Amino acid sequence: MITYDKPRTATAHIHSLDGAMDEITVLGEDKQGDQTVYTVNYKGTICTAIFNIFTYSYFADDIYGKITN
């Protein structure tokens, strides 16, 4: 996984909000096959997100994409 030196904030469609937009912090990225998967922080929950190049927006999965250590 690539961890960013300076995490950046962005808006994203949030799964638990039924796709409503809210602010996330993008912490890093990883490749899964051809797909880039981002590690994000949404209100204290570390989870996965994808970026859609056609809609130019992130989609964060804070329900099924939770990352626990």
- Nearest Cα neighbor of 65 from 31, 44, 38 is 38
Q: Which pLDDT score, from 0 to 100, does residue 33 have?
A: 93
SS3 state of residue 65: strand
From first to last of its 69 residues, the chain has per-residue pLDDT tens of 788 889 999 999 999 999 999 999 999 999 999 999 999 999 999 999 999 999 999 999 999 999 987
Phi, psi at 16, each rounded to 5°? -70, -15
Could you state, in order of their start, the residue ranges of all structural domains in the chain? Answer: 2-66
Token pair recorded at residue 19:
């796709």
Please identify which residue in the block is written with the tokens 């992130």. Answer: 58
